[in-house]
Structure 1
Amino acid sequence: MADVDPELHSLADVLERVDERARLGAETDYVWPTGFGILDDVLDGGLRGGNLILLAGPQGQGKTTMALQIARNAAAAGQAVLYFCYEHDPEVLLGRLVSLEAGLLYQGQAPNQDRFRHLFEDPSPTPDGLVGRLQTLPTATEALQAVLGYQDHFHVHRSTGSATNIKVIAEAVEQVRRATGQSPLVIVDYLQKVKAQSALESERATEIVEDLKDLAIMHQVPVLAISASDKGGLLSGKRMRAHHLRGSTALAYECDVLLILNSKYDIVSRQHLVYAANAETFRQWVVLSIEKNRNGRAGLELEFRKHFDQNRFDPDGGLVREQLIDERLVLE
């Protein structure tokens, strides 16, 4: 897909381009499905080119897990993915993907992610390499084969806060486009780690989010950026909201879609904890709030079951039926 020309256009030029697209058919890579059915329905098909999508939530609620699973789903569907990872080495992401695939293939029979991690980190030599090592663990070989099925579509950039700025990100997007002939789904894990010129955190956050938004528009790709929470959004029993995004109010303003993960147990109303047959099951679910959605409905609450022992969520989520609250003051 060609870059969007940032220069001035006459309305006649715009109409001509729209007419040409109508005659030739819409480009097939304009929307990237997330692979989470109900989320794609809410987002009118998935993540859209030219959009900045923020995925936020308190620590430990699965932001990277969900972002990696969305990246996996896109790559498995034959779409290019470019994952900027400021937190982990590519080898760590590979191990998580193998664990994820085992979970999808074998569900409850799949090994715990710790067993995969130990195999990937084992320093002892193995004559048959990784394949031989994984043969010692049931389901691991099949899981690796699943990853190999989309290995050419999935690109990982080992990013650092001292070097990986918006220019580096844009150059990598172009590199993937030249190599694959596709515009990639861009994932930034995470936003506050992108190198910026500003010194103050609020100014840095504003600079980064504006740059990422411009990049999405200029390259007509979806940019999914993970965002950290401020201290107020990290308190136990308190629901993270848009105003808890760390750094600047510009984050919520500039993005096209804002998704926030919260633990269902922390934000379900007390009456459901008291009368539920097994309230502890709420701990096994996250609530994904559609706080902002310029492409459709907002204010919806979706729920997905955690399988963090397999580095994944159950993709078959649903709408939250219980009443949710922003803060639980007292639990008796």
Structure 2
Amino acid sequence: MDPELHSLSTVLERVDERARLGTTATRIWPTGFGVLDDVLDGGLRAGNLILLAGPQGQGKTTMALQIARNAAAAGHAVIYFCYEHDPEVLLGRLVSLEAGELYDTHAPNQDRFRHLFEDSRANPNGLVGRLQELPTATEALQSVLRYEKRFHVHRSTGSATNIKVISEAVEQVRHETGLEPLVIVDYLQKVKVDSGSNVEAERVTEVVEDLKDLAIMHQVPVFALSAADKEGLATGRRMRAQHLRGSTALAYECDVMLILNNKYDIVSRQHLVYAASVEKFRQFVVVSVEKNRNGRAGVELEFRKRFEQNRFETDGALVAEQLIDERLVLE
């Protein structure tokens, strides 16, 4: 008997029982970015594939890592599949992020944390002793230790880390923690495909379909970063859904599509009359909700960049200014 075959009577019985008990089958992982969670009707949903894209340097990894940190700090398990950086690099960024959360403008620049993590000098007290050289660093490390056992980093490679490896890691974390993990893939174009195709559109289609199936099978949210094509990477232009590499499959399969753009690059020219406004706009990223099966789409949100601390300010807002190039909302 196929365990995935359900009669409507069975489904109705389950829903009725949940109604009687006051429970729900829907599990949600808040992103920790308040206005974004409002638009997503609570956060990232089990069984959903969420895509985050944007031009280079706009903070895709920074936002993904911060969402992962927020989820872990809130009590959820997280697996961060990183094809770009070593786990030690991500740890250093998390410590810098925590210092920013604790001390805001008084927190040291991320470069000072990076230098401490890369320091080759011996210290008899290990990392704690080394971090004592920098004010705020010890307290920031203590913040990381509060969720260290729930936050997992997978050093992924394009030659070995395929969907099977990702699926097995999800099962391992579920077994070790007893929690369903938020899965973050940084980034999806580097996931190894089993077909061996050299055609990028075919590879992306295969990966996206597999990630969506994985989200449904394991009932976890999969949050994947996506690269842009050359046109989408052009400096000073607005990146849109059609600029994603393998855009047709990406737009069709995902449940939520978020695209980052530098606010200065996409705000209407009429708002750039005064120099003060120009500098203000450079400090913000616009998160465009291009597709959202769980709520509103076509929404523009802004968050202040704090890249010197490896983070964004989470108390964002709706964009008040008019933006160039009105979007096409994906259904």
8 Å contact kept, 1:192–1:205: yes
Query: Which amino acid in structure 2 is aligned with residue 261 of structure 1?
Result: L
* 1:74 paired to 2:71: yes
Rounded Cα–Cα distance in structure 2 between residues aligned with 1:61 and 1:303: 12
8 Å contact kept, 1:186–1:221: yes
CA offset digits 1:19-48 (Å, max 9, x no partner): 222233325870000000000000000000
Could you tell me which runs of 5 or more consecutive residues in structure 2 were left unpaired when the two chains were aligned: 327-331
What secondary structure is seen at the aligned counterpart in 2 of 1:260? strand
* 1:10 paired to 2:7: yes
Query: Which amino acid in structure 2 is aligned with residue 205 of structure 1?
Result: V
CA drift of 1:276 comes to 6.1
* 1:109 paired to 2:106: yes
CA drift of 1:183 comes to 0.5
Bigger shift: residues 25-34 or 156-165? 25-34
* 1:251 paired to 2:236: no
* 1:200 paired to 2:199: yes
Rounded Cα–Cα distance in structure 2 between residues aligned with 1:88 and 1:29: 33
Query: Which residue in the other structure is 2:329 paired with?
Result: none
* 1:35 paired to 2:42: no
Rounded Cα–Cα distance in structure 2 between residues aligned with 1:77 and 1:37: 14
Give the alignment partner of residue 48 of structure 2, picking from 51, 59, 80: 51
* 1:145 paired to 2:142: yes
CA drift of 1:17 comes to 1.7
Rounded Cα–Cα distance in structure 1 between residues aligned with 2:36 and 2:245: 24
Rounded Cα–Cα distance in structure 2 between residues aligned with 1:6 and 1:307: 48
Rounded Cα–Cα distance in structure 1 between residues aligned with 2:200 and 2:3: 29
1:174-193 equivalent positions in 2, closer than 5 A: 174-193=171-190
8 Å contact kept, 1:6–1:218: no
Rounded Cα–Cα distance in structure 2 between residues aligned with 1:171 and 1:135: 38
Query: Which residue in the other structure is 2:278 paired with?
Result: 279
CA offset digits 1:204-247 (Å, max 9, x no partner): 00000000000001111000000001111111121000111112
Change (3 A) 1:245 1:128: same
Rounded Cα–Cα distance in structure 2 between residues aligned with 1:123 and 1:33: 38
Rounded Cα–Cα distance in structure 1 between residues aligned with 2:261 and 2:281: 11
Query: Which residue in the other structure is 2:20 paired with?
Result: 23
8 Å contact kept, 2:241–2:247: no
Give aligned pairs, total: 323
Rounded Cα–Cα distance in structure 2 between residues aligned with 1:176 and 1:42: 29
Rounded Cα–Cα distance in structure 2 between residues aligned with 1:248 and 1:300: 20
Query: Which amino acid in structure 2 is aligned with residue 179 of structure 1?
Result: E
Report the TM-score when normalising by structure 1: 0.95
CA drift of 1:281 comes to 1.6
8 Å contact kept, 2:284–2:302: yes
Identity %: 81
What secondary structure is seen at the aligned counterpart in 1 of 2:117? helix
Rounded Cα–Cα distance in structure 1 between residues aligned with 2:22 and 2:170: 25
What secondary structure is seen at the aligned counterpart in 1 of 2:324? coil
8 Å contact kept, 1:286–1:304: yes
8 Å contact kept, 2:271–2:277: no
Rounded Cα–Cα distance in structure 2 between residues aligned with 1:190 and 1:279: 31
Query: Which amino acid in structure 1 is aligned with residue 255 of structure 2?
Result: D
Query: Which residue in the other structure is 2:311 paired with?
Result: 312
Query: Which residue in the other structure is 1:122 paired with?
Result: 119
What secondary structure is seen at the aligned counterpart in 1 of 2:149? coil
Could you tell me which runs of 5 or more consecutive residues in structure 1 were left unpaired when the two chains were aligned: 328-332
What secondary structure is seen at the aligned counterpart in 1 of 2:261? strand
Query: Which amino acid in structure 2 is aligned with residue 41 of structure 1?
Result: D
What secondary structure is seen at the aligned counterpart in 1 of 2:315? coil
Rounded Cα–Cα distance in structure 2 between residues aligned with 1:248 and 1:206: 9
CA drift of 1:295 comes to 0.3
Rounded Cα–Cα distance in structure 1 between residues aligned with 2:24 and 2:154: 27
Query: Which amino acid in structure 1 is aligned with residue 34 of structure 2?
Result: G
8 Å contact kept, 1:238–1:326: no
Query: Which residue in the other structure is 1:330 paired with?
Result: none
What secondary structure is seen at the aligned counterpart in 1 of 2:231? helix
CA offset digits 1:47-88 (Å, max 9, x no partner): 000000000000000000000000000000111011101100
Rounded Cα–Cα distance in structure 2 between residues aligned with 1:161 and 1:26: 41
Rounded Cα–Cα distance in structure 1 between residues aligned with 2:131 and 2:101: 17
RMSD over aligned Cα, in angstroms?
A: 1.4
Query: Which amino acid in structure 1 is aligned with residue 189 of structure 2?
Result: Q
